[in-house]
Amino acid sequence: MLWAESPPASARANLRSYAAGLRRVLNTASGGDRLSSGHQGYRLRVRPDELDLRLFDDLTARGRAAVNEGDHRSAVERLRAALDLWRGAAFDGLAHHNVLYIEASRLEESRLSVFEDHAAARLARGEHEDLVPELRAQTVAHPLRERLWYLLITAQHQCGRPGDALRSYDRARRALRDELGLDPGADLRQLHQALLARDLSPVVGPLLPQLNPVHEPDPPAPALMAPGASSRSGESWPICQLPTDTADFAGREDLLSCAATLLARSKVTRPSTAVPVVILTGLPGVGKTAAATHLAHRLRGTFPDGQLYVQLGSARGPHRTSSTVLGDLLLSIGVPGSAIPGSDSQRAALFRSKLADRRVLVVLDDALDTSQLQYLLPGGSGCAVLVTSRARR
């Protein structure tokens, strides 16, 4: 991360010099051994109240707990305090090498999710008038986030502006179609129908806290689990991370039937301990992701414990590393951040262990090559993997 390209021959010596200088500054300022070295590298000792990310995670968890308890005033205060810790984009001013780019994207996703939860809690307190301009600005910056549109439309309706709410729905629909070729999801469509009927009472209340669940850094309490979840080891099951299916998907029936047969093979008719893996390859733009998403939705009943979805590629940056993907997968199935190992092999082993006795479909979208997949495959034969890739190797 210190060198944009390949490191110089003196990189190891340079690192030691940098660390020694940093140790002198930190240890002098704190009066203690804040940065120490050992046979495995360097250790930086940080108190819980010194790390802004730790404070952000703690305030977020407490704010969401207050939401589930119906204490919207406390939820607003805690989530606002979490958002106030941000002073611009993550790592603002630093060169975004591969690892920093991925981590910055993850942190921005966390910030947006907390903003949405904060807005939902404020809506519950009747603060719709003040929320409309804030939510409108966020939908301009992030036009593909359906929950932001949901919150904006709801706030506009509560302000007595049904025309503005309907126009916002139309903008959301056009943004999703233009960018993704998709129609709005079921929640937004249901809200639209409620707007036309001038009755949002059965829609707004139950859906606001559920549109964008985000896993906390610590194991969730039972009230935070998804519907039908098991409380075993704090894990949330089942889980579905699939993108919205295409409403008018047509064709490719032979391909989809063949892939479904391979993925959903019966242990009775075809006994095997291997994990079925199907790879859809093709040039960019031919519809690999749409086909994989459509097939995965078809197979939800075959994999009742859940469907995990990972977008490995990125149009705006490098492909995601296995380490980052595994970290996100472990968080999504209920593993607290503090319990996620550091190395790829340890993360992969924990991921396989968590899925060993489950029936889960893992969808890996836009894989670069087979080396990117080696750590992302579950070990239990009850699971299956569906991959899309531009390459055949």
Question: pLDDT tens, 294-346?
Answer: 888 888 888 888 889 888 875 555 667 788 888 888 888 877 776 788 778 88
Average pLDDT over every residue of 142-168: 92
Residue 98 has pLDDT above 80, yes or no: no
Note the pLDDT of residue 215.
38
Query: In this structure, what token pair is assigned to residue 321?
Result: 């590393």
Conformational region of residue 110, where left means phi above 0, alpha means psi within -120 to 50, and beta covers everything else: alpha
Amino acid letter, residue 310: V
- Model confidence at 95, pLDDT cuts 50, 70, 90, reads low
Query: In this structure, what token pair is assigned to residue 124?
Result: 């519950």
Q: Can you state the angle between helices 288-298 and 253-263, rounded to 10 degrees?
A: 50
Residue found by looking up tokens 């993925």 in the block = 263
Name the more confident of 86 and 381. 86
- According to CATH, the superfamily of the domain at 52-210 is Tetratricopeptide repeat domain (1.25.40.10)
Note the pLDDT of residue 122.
92
In angstroms, the CA 322 to CA 26 distance is 33
CATH C-level class of 230-389: alpha beta
| Cα dihedral 10, 12, 13, 14 sign | positive
- Model confidence at 201, pLDDT cuts 50, 70, 90, reads low
Name the DSSP letter for residue 16. Answer: H
Round to the nearest angstrom and report the end-to-end CA distance of the chain: 28
Name the more confident of 103 and 95. 103
* Burial class, 357, CB count within 10 angstroms (exposed 0-12 / middle 13-18 / buried 19+): exposed
Q: What is the tens place of the pLDDT at every residue in 108-124?
A: 888 999 999 999 999 98
Amino acid letter, residue 234: G
Residues in a beta bridge with 385: 277, 362
- Please answer whether residues 146 and 158 qualify as being in contact, where contact means their C-beta atoms are separated by less than 8 angstroms: no
Residue found by looking up tokens 């990972």 in the block = 310
What mean pLDDT value characterizes the chain?
79
Angle subtended at Cα 345 by Cα 96 and Cα 332, rounded to the nearest 5 degrees: 70
Note the pLDDT of residue 134.
94
Q: Where do the domains of the chain lie?
A: 11-44, 52-210, 230-389
Q: What is the tens place of the pLDDT at every residue in 206-235?
A: 334 443 333 333 333 322 233 333 334 444
Q: What is the tens place of the pLDDT at every residue in 256-301?
A: 778 888 887 644 344 566 788 888 887 777 678 888 888 888 888 8
In angstroms, the CA 118 to CA 108 distance is 15
Lowest mean pLDDT among 46-50, 158-162, 232-236: 232-236
Note the pLDDT of residue 319.
67
* Burial class, 354, CB count within 10 angstroms (exposed 0-12 / middle 13-18 / buried 19+): buried
Query: In this structure, what token pair is assigned to residue 239?
Result: 């889980």
- Model confidence at 250, pLDDT cuts 50, 70, 90, reads low
What is 65-84 written as a DSSP string? Answer: HHHHTT-HHHHHHHHHHHHH
Task: Find the length of the chain.
Answer: 393
- Please answer whether residues 339 and 351 qualify as being in contact, where contact means their C-beta atoms are separated by less than 8 angstroms: no
Residue found by looking up tokens 């190797």 in the block = 393
- Please answer whether residues 322 and 307 qualify as being in contact, where contact means their C-beta atoms are separated by less than 8 angstroms: no
